[in-house]
Amino acid sequence: MTIPVSTETLDLAAKFPGIVTPDEREGYSGWIVKADELAAFAASLRDDLGYDFLSSVTGVDYLPEKKLEVVYHVYKTTGGPGLVFKVQLPRKKPEVPSLTPVYPGADFQEREAWDLLGIKFTGHPDLRRILMWEGFEGHPLRKDWKEPFYEEDIKPYSSRWPEGKHSYAEDRNPFNDNVQFPKQFDPEKWVPEGDAALYGALAEYRTTDEDGLDTDHIVVNMGPQHPSTHGVFRAVITLDGEDIVSMKPVMGYLHRNHEKIGERNTYLHNMPYTDRLDYFCSMTNNHGYALAVEKLTGIEVPERTEYIRVIMDELTRIQNHFILIGMLLNDLGAYFTPALYAFEERELILDIFEAVAGSRMMCNYFRFGGVARDVTPEILEKVSALAFDRLPRKADEFDRLLTENEILVSRCKGVGRLSSEDAIKYSMSGPSLRASGVPYDIRKADPYSIYDRFDFDVAVRYNGDTYDRYLIRLDEIRQSLRILQQAIRQIPEGPIQTGKSTYLTKTPAGESYGRIEAPKGELGYYLVSNGTGNPWRYHVRAPSFINITALESMVVGGKIADFVIVFGGIDVVLGEMDR
Partner 1 sequence: MIDLALVLEWVIKSLVVIFMLLGGFAYLTWFERRILARMQTRVGPNRAGWQGLLQPVADAVKLVFKEELIPARADKVIFVLAPILTVVPATVLAVVIPFGTQVILFGRQVNLAVADINVGILFLMAVASVAVYGIVLAGWSSNNKFALMGGMRSTAQMISYELALGLSFVLVALMADSLQLSEIVEAQRTMWFVVLQPVGAIVFLIVTLAEVNRAPFDMPEAEQELAAGFHSEYSGMKFALFFMAEYQKMIVISIIAVTLFFGGYLGPFIGRFPWLGPVYVLGKVVALLFGMVWIRATLPRIRYDRLMDLGWKVLLPLVLGLVLITATGILLADEFGNSLVWSIPVVSILAGFLTVGLVDRSLRRKFNALR
Q: Which stretches of the chain bind partner 1, using CB under 8 A?
A: 218, 220, 226-228, 242, 329-337, 340-341, 344, 405-411, 413-414, 463, 465, 559-564
Minimum distance, C-beta of residue 213 to partner 1, in the bound complex (Å): 19
> Which C-beta is closer to partner 1: that of 441 or that of 465?
465
> Which C-beta is closer to partner 1: that of 145 or that of 253?
253
Minimum distance, C-beta of residue 331 to partner 1, in the bound complex (Å): 5
Minimum distance, C-beta of residue 190 to partner 1, in the bound complex (Å): 21
> Which C-beta is closer to partner 1: that of 344 or that of 396?
344
Q: How far apart are CA 253 and CA 226, in angstroms?
A: 13
Q: How far apart are CA 446 and CA 435, in angstroms?
A: 19
Q: Is 268 helix (H, G, I), strand (E, B) or coil?
A: coil
> Which C-beta is closer to partner 1: that of 196 or that of 409?
409
Q: How far apart are CA 573 and CA 172, in angstroms?
A: 35
Contact predicate 331/566, CB 8 Å: no
Other CB atoms within 10 Å distance of the CB of residue 269: 18
Contact predicate 398/322, CB 8 Å: yes
> Which C-beta is closer to partner 1: that of 102 or that of 329?
329
Quote the DSSP letter at residue 497. B
Q: Which residues contact 452 (CB under 8 A, 6 or more apart)?
A: none
> Which C-beta is closer to partner 1: that of 218 or that of 385?
218
> Which C-beta is closer to partner 1: that of 77 or that of 229?
229
Minimum distance, C-beta of residue 414 to partner 1, in the bound complex (Å): 4
CA-nearest of 442, 513, 73, 447 to 293 is: 513
Minimum distance, C-beta of residue 237 to partner 1, in the bound complex (Å): 10
Minimum distance, C-beta of residue 340 to partner 1, in the bound complex (Å): 4
Contact predicate 352/386, CB 8 Å: yes
> Which C-beta is closer to partner 1: that of 331 or that of 446?
331
Q: How far apart are CA 18 and CA 15, in angstroms?
A: 9
Minimum distance, C-beta of residue 447 to partner 1, in the bound complex (Å): 33
Minimum distance, C-beta of residue 562 to partner 1, in the bound complex (Å): 7
Q: DSSP states of 505-549 as a string?
A: S---SEEEEEEEEETTEEEEEEEEE-SSSSEEEEEEE-HHHHHGG
Q: How far apart are CA 116 and CA 131, in angstroms?
A: 8
Q: Which residues contact 163 (CB under 8 A, 6 or more apart)?
A: none
The β-bridge partners of 524 are: 515, 541
Q: How far apart are CA 258 and CA 263, in angstroms?
A: 9
Which H or E run includes 391? helix 391-402
> Which C-beta is closer to partner 1: that of 57 or that of 566?
566
> Which C-beta is closer to partner 1: that of 67 or that of 413?
413
Minimum distance, C-beta of residue 338 to partner 1, in the bound complex (Å): 8
Q: How far apart are CA 96 and CA 70, in angstroms?
A: 9
Q: Is 482 exposed, middle or buried (0-12, 13-18, 19+ CB in 10 A)?
A: middle
> Which C-beta is closer to partner 1: that of 130 or that of 408?
408
Q: How far apart are CA 327 and CA 329, in angstroms?
A: 5
Minimum distance, C-beta of residue 550 to partner 1, in the bound complex (Å): 19
Minimum distance, C-beta of residue 417 to partner 1, in the bound complex (Å): 8
Minimum distance, C-beta of residue 516 to partner 1, in the bound complex (Å): 31
The 3-class secondary structure across 555-574, one letter per residue, is HCCCEHHHHHHHHHHHCCCH
> Which C-beta is closer to partner 1: that of 142 or that of 413?
413
Number of residues in the chain: 579
Q: Is 452 exposed, middle or buried (0-12, 13-18, 19+ CB in 10 A)?
A: exposed
CA-nearest of 50, 93, 48, 103 to 72 is: 103
Q: Which runs of consecutive H residues, i.e. helices, occur in 332-376? A: 337-357
CA 241 vs. chain centroid, Å, equals 34
Q: How far apart are CA 306 and CA 370, in angstroms?
A: 8
Phi, psi of 227 (to 5 degrees): -65, -25
Other CB atoms within 10 Å distance of the CB of residue 206: 12
> Which C-beta is closer to partner 1: that of 248 or that of 304?
248
Amino acid at 283: M
> Which C-beta is closer to partner 1: that of 83 or that of 435?
435
Minimum distance, C-beta of residue 154 to partner 1, in the bound complex (Å): 44
Minimum distance, C-beta of residue 11 to partner 1, in the bound complex (Å): 45
